[in-house]
A and B are shown apart, each in its own frame.
Chain A
Amino acid sequence: MKVKVVSHILEANDRIAAENRKLFKESGVYVINLMSAPGAGKTSLIEKTILELSGKSKIGVIEGDIAGSDDARRIANLHIPVVQINTGGACHLDANMISEVLGDLPLNNLDLLIIENVGNLVCPAEFKVGENIKVMLLSIAEGDDKPLKYPLMFQESSALILNKMDLLPYTNASIEKIRKNSLSLNPKLKIFEVSCRTGEGIGKWVKWLQSLIK
């Protein structure tokens, strides 16, 4: 006996993501889902962003990692509300994991919530968690071939931050090639060049981010 069931397989995730989205909207908090490969500098970017917005915006952070709480400790040192999620093996955060920890954050007191996804260029792009925008970080030492190798993440993101620009002279990466291929995948992508180590370019990124929060 045949039964027709026309249903999107990620429907359950999308439904919870929509509930999270509604709660974020009611609480007046702007949410970014920050994604990159491991070691690209997500936590460093969050630290720099917090320092730059100090006294201007109230920020909370959710840290997603397979294991450990080193990242959450780094953020807690800046006196920012932070929750660590350990996915226990899963390669991405999903809407339900976020939903379960929202009670631990003072959402009504926040202007901005940064969700640091698990370091991975593939799976996080496919799971909505209730964010306003997805932001992708690519450190230039990873190589200029990444846009064409991991296209979905570039297509799903609203902004691409190129980190570790201070290392450019020591790599063979072409910023022009990264820009050209990223924009051909996603013509609306905003691209920022930064170095979390030297602080170069952080101001421009934060200014853009502030324009969204307001």
Chain B
Amino acid sequence: MHEVSIAQSLLKIAVDNCKKEGYKGIEIIKVKIGRASGIMPDALSFAFDAVKIGTIAKKATLTIDAIPVTGFCEGCKSSFTVEEAYVLSCPQCGDLSIRIETGHELHIYEMDVF
């Protein structure tokens, strides 16, 4: 449900930046969404299509890069990538001293404007 709040926030950032730079409209907005951010990409796309109506981003498409959860294990000194949204212990050796490196992203990073 809170994907609507996230869609409104990202739309505001995009529209404000576009206007500030003097452009008329937005074609593409690119975001990075980590698997552990709690955001469902499909729900975000759906919410975005609803909130963009009537704005200078009304024809914009949202491109979502899903970032996997990756980390480093201090136990076996190796990096790992997992499919799940959360990881509690090293998938290789089971050690608990792991450091999560990616997967919590919630960033807008680029737009195509005209």
Contacts and interface: CB of A to CB of B under 8 A. Distances in A.
Interface of A: 1-13, 90-92, 94, 122-123, 125-127, 148, 151-152, 181, 184-185
A3 B21 contact: yes
B14 interface: yes
Contacts of A91: 1-2
B21, B23, B108 interface centre (most CB from chain A within 10 Å): B108
B113 to A, nearest CB: 5
At the interface, is chain B mostly helix, strand, loop or mixed? mixed
A94 B38 contact: no
B13 A5 contact: yes
Interface string B102-114: 0000111111111
A10 B6 contact: yes
Interface residues of B, number: 31
Nearest to A126: B38
B9 A10 contact: yes
Interface of B: 1-2, 5-6, 9-10, 12-14, 17-18, 21, 23, 31, 36-38, 85-86, 88-89, 96, 106-114
A7 B10 CA distance: 9
Contacts of B38: 122-123, 125-126, 152
Contact of A6 (B88, B107, B113): B107
Nearest to B89: A184
A2 B1 CA distance: 31
Nearest to A181: B88
Given A11-B13, A13-B9, A125-B38, A1 B23 contact: yes
B110 A5 contact: yes
A9 B110 CA distance: 12
B2 A123 contact: yes
A1 B113 CA distance: 5
